[in-house]
A and B are shown apart, each in its own frame.
Chain A
């Protein structure tokens, strides 16, 4: 359960206030571009410090923690892997700073097998397709083993079929490992596909999450304008 308590972030003239609690296994943040969806994820992950307010994970204040110490693992839009390191090295960094032990190596192999991409440890990210790179990035998040997974539209560059496949895979592993997921999406269909609840981010505030189907059936004015149905 992630609780945002009067969390405020300002960047120039832009201001976003979030005072919501996210409980659903998968919550989608929807809204027009530039409304601050990605900014909010970056605040939750600890990359952007909030101007005021608190973020609480299962009742514990995490506002002051550095990114690596948060209960959070994030899939970015791009640069989810170090391009100069092979897949094995990339994934090992999620576990250790030293040479991975044989136990850790089998953990890595297991994670790769789970995302459907076994035996690619020796390859460089550039030798993999976009979809395969997404799978490795997901494996990295699994190895980080944090209870909260954040998705900042990591599959936006993939084709529709591949994107749906990846979203389904995320939903699968998240329920398997009992992870909570918060995802940013500019496409309501993505949200409807895997997120049980959705929160509208628009006009400087984050609305409380409500069931996704209900939201899409009867969108509030700001979302309706964005969807072109208003």
Chain B
């Protein structure tokens, strides 16, 4: 059965590409006995910051989502669409934006100091949490908004007819159902946070396990310790992943969130003002850092160091390569077992995979020589579950619609894909490719373990510029990265939509 051979081979390949480095990590890492007090502290901090970040994100999302659910205003749809943007926003760009607003000489301190407000310091655990809330508040808002919109309109009509308290009979029960899942998803995301901890955290009180892996590599050159930490992160990721799968809400990409329900409550001036304030707060919190990256980056664009341009070229090649690889792996895997094979990758963090590949490759080859291929591979493995999740419904509906006609005409194999499935999948393919390209373009993870002098990607180059206090150049490069990431996403997504007949 040649038809089955390709999916099975691909599934084994993907599983192998995850299991092999993980085995290397476990083999080298030793048991829990190898954990010292510093590692335990990293574990405690990782769990604590993830819990606080998730709790804050969900708590703040409740009033924002409620406001968005019951108000209509110009720009509402755009704002909700923007809430999906942090997913493809390079972390390092957001960090620079947050620094510009909340940093030592940032907007908040400049406005606050003359008023006698205490000086805000973004470096440390509060910076880590602030950044995590920045990234995950929008996600929490989208998840909760979905919960609000899932309440049938008839219930609102019934409650209005009975003059029943909407909060108690409709909203609170919905939140009790939706919030635990939203918390779990964000908790898991924050557990694997690396770039945020790398740039804003550090020190004994703000080091995550992932950051500790990096430090073991870079500062101690202790591969055994790095492997032990990677094994710890692996256990953490698997446990959290299993937990999230049980409570996770469905439909995180939420289509159709720009609907709005007729409601008969919240018409008092107080309620209107409160909703308005919360929505403004969320919009400002999201948009100000991005705007300040754009504004602060512009002046430096003209005199960026040459390394930035070469790093940008490397990143572009990396993103396009990772996109091609991801799609090539995803297409044969658009089945339920295929999705399971790909899910293996999501429970394992990129840094753990990176550590594994480092352990495997280091005896054979200079790690710096394979920095880009390994990063590309890890990016592809990370993006694969999302891509499969995006493409599978489209393929299944194409099969349901066209399967019999195609069989009647004798279309099968590659021909069936070329003539029927690929054209039908154009839109989700464009979206998936855009997502992968943007994620890979902005990724600051594995590359930090492998890169040496002259093979930095653009995000790593920006991190280096920040480290050497060349903030002007860093901001300009961040603007370039932002434009490239969003441009890649927009270009691919657009390409999928143009003249695509339904």
Tell whether B8 is near chain A: CB-to-CB under 8 Å: no
Contacts of A170 in B (CB 8 A): none
Whether A68 and B405, one on each chain, are in contact in the complex, defined by CB atoms closer than 8 angstroms, is no
Using A76-B405, A82-B420 as known contacts, say yes or no to A68 and B501 having CB atoms under 8 A apart.
no
Q: CA–CA, A81 to B415, complex, Å?
A: 17
Tell whether B411 is near chain A: CB-to-CB under 8 Å: yes
The residue that A79 contacts in the complex, of B401, B501, B502, with Cβ under 8 A, is: B401
Q: CA–CA, A137 to B404, complex, Å?
A: 14
Within 8 A of B (CB), among A46-74: 46-47, 66-69, 72-74
Contacts of A80 in B (CB 8 A): 405
Whether B405 and A83, one on each chain, are in contact in the complex, defined by CB atoms closer than 8 angstroms, is no
Contacts of A76 in B (CB 8 A): 404-405
Contacts of B401 in A (CB 8 A): 79, 83
Contacts of B404 in A (CB 8 A): 42, 45, 47, 67, 74, 76, 79
B100 to chain A, nearest CB (A): 46
Whether A84 and B423, one on each chain, are in contact in the complex, defined by CB atoms closer than 8 angstroms, is yes
Tell whether B114 is near chain A: CB-to-CB under 8 Å: no
Q: CA–CA, A85 to B409, complex, Å?
A: 14
Q: CA–CA, A94 to B410, complex, Å?
A: 9
Tell whether B498 is near chain A: CB-to-CB under 8 Å: no
The residue that B407 contacts in the complex, of A47, A81, A94, with Cβ under 8 A, is: A47
Contacts of B35 in A (CB 8 A): none
Contacts of B500 in A (CB 8 A): 84
Q: CA–CA, A126 to B411, complex, Å?
A: 22
Tell whether A93 is near chain B: CB-to-CB under 8 Å: yes
Whether A45 and B408, one on each chain, are in contact in the complex, defined by CB atoms closer than 8 angstroms, is yes
Within 8 A of A (CB), among B399-437: 401-402, 404-405, 407-411, 415, 419-420, 423-424
Residue of A nearest to B415 (CB): A97
A190 to chain B, nearest CB (A): 22
Contacts of A144 in B (CB 8 A): 408-409
Q: CA–CA, A180 to B416, complex, Å?
A: 29
Tell whether A114 is near chain B: CB-to-CB under 8 Å: no
Whether B502 and A93, one on each chain, are in contact in the complex, defined by CB atoms closer than 8 angstroms, is no
Tell whether A124 is near chain B: CB-to-CB under 8 Å: yes
Contacts of A79 in B (CB 8 A): 401-402, 404-405
A69 to chain B, nearest CB (A): 7
Contacts of A42 in B (CB 8 A): 404
**Interface majority SS (helix, strand, loop, mixed), chain B:** helix
Q: CA–CA, A156 to B138, complex, Å?
A: 47
The residue that A93 contacts in the complex, of B407, B411, B501, with Cβ under 8 A, is: B411
Q: Which residue, B402, B408, B409, B424, has most C-beta atoms of chain A within 10 A?
A: B408
Q: CA–CA, A66 to B500, complex, Å?
A: 31
A221 to chain B, nearest CB (A): 34
Q: CA–CA, A126 to B408, complex, Å?
A: 22
B179 to chain A, nearest CB (A): 40
B419 to chain A, nearest CB (A): 7
Q: CA–CA, A69 to B415, complex, Å?
A: 17
Residue of B nearest to A124 (CB): B501
Using A83-B502, A84-B501, A124-B501 as known contacts, say yes or no to A68 and B420 having CB atoms under 8 A apart.
no
B460 to chain A, nearest CB (A): 42
Using A79-B402, A82-B402, A82-B420 as known contacts, say yes or no to A74 and B408 having CB atoms under 8 A apart.
yes
A90 to chain B, nearest CB (A): 9
Whether A66 and B405, one on each chain, are in contact in the complex, defined by CB atoms closer than 8 angstroms, is no
A73 to chain B, nearest CB (A): 7
The residue that A68 contacts in the complex, of B410, B419, B424, B502, with Cβ under 8 A, is: B410
Contacts of B501 in A (CB 8 A): 83-84, 124, 126
Q: CA–CA, A126 to B499, complex, Å?
A: 13
Using A124-B501, A126-B501 as known contacts, say yes or no to A82 and B408 having CB atoms under 8 A apart.
no
Contacts of A82 in B (CB 8 A): 402, 405, 419-420
Q: CA–CA, A126 to B500, complex, Å?
A: 12
Using A84-B424, A84-B501, A126-B501 as known contacts, say yes or no to A68 and B402 having CB atoms under 8 A apart.
no
Contacts of A97 in B (CB 8 A): 415
Using A84-B501, A126-B502 as known contacts, say yes or no to A67 and B407 having CB atoms under 8 A apart.
yes
Residue of A nearest to B403 (CB): A47
Q: CA–CA, A80 to B404, complex, Å?
A: 9
Q: Which residue, B405, B419, B420, B500, has most C-beta atoms of chain A within 10 A?
A: B405
Q: CA–CA, A82 to B404, complex, Å?
A: 11
Q: CA–CA, A42 to B403, complex, Å?
A: 13
Whether A66 and B423, one on each chain, are in contact in the complex, defined by CB atoms closer than 8 angstroms, is no
Contacts of A67 in B (CB 8 A): 404, 407-408, 410
A119 to chain B, nearest CB (A): 20
A194 to chain B, nearest CB (A): 22
Contacts of B402 in A (CB 8 A): 79, 82
Contacts of B410 in A (CB 8 A): 66-69
Q: CA–CA, A69 to B412, complex, Å?
A: 13
Q: CA–CA, A46 to B500, complex, Å?
A: 32
Residue of A nearest to B400 (CB): A79
Whether A68 and B407, one on each chain, are in contact in the complex, defined by CB atoms closer than 8 angstroms, is yes
Whether B405 and A94, one on each chain, are in contact in the complex, defined by CB atoms closer than 8 angstroms, is no
Using A82-B402, A93-B419, A126-B501 as known contacts, say yes or no to A73 and B424 having CB atoms under 8 A apart.
no
Contacts of B419 in A (CB 8 A): 82, 85, 93
Contacts of B405 in A (CB 8 A): 76, 79-82
B224 to chain A, nearest CB (A): 56
Residue of A nearest to B502 (CB): A83
Within 8 A of B (CB), among A3-23: none
Q: Mark B467-502, 1 if CB is under 8 A from A, else 0.
A: 000000000000000000000000000000000111
Whether B423 and A94, one on each chain, are in contact in the complex, defined by CB atoms closer than 8 angstroms, is no
The contact sample of 28 A-B pairs, CB cut-off 8 A, is A45-B408, A46-B407, A47-B404, A66-B410, A67-B404, A67-B408, A67-B410, A68-B407, A68-B410, A72-B408, A73-B408, A74-B404, A76-B405, A79-B401, A79-B402, A79-B404, A83-B501, A83-B502, A84-B500, A84-B501, A85-B423, A93-B409, A93-B411, A93-B419, A94-B409, A126-B501, A126-B502, A144-B409
Given contacts A68-B410, A79-B404, A144-B409, 5 further A-B contacts (CB under 8 A): A46-B407, A72-B408, A79-B401, A79-B405, A126-B501
Residues in A lying within 8 Å of B, measured CB to CB: 42, 45-47, 66-69, 72-74, 76, 79-85, 93-94, 97, 124, 126, 144
Kindly list the 9 A-B residue pairs having the minimum CB-CB distance in the complex, ordered from nearest. A68-B410, A67-B407, A84-B423, A79-B401, A84-B501, A67-B408, A93-B409, A47-B404, A124-B501
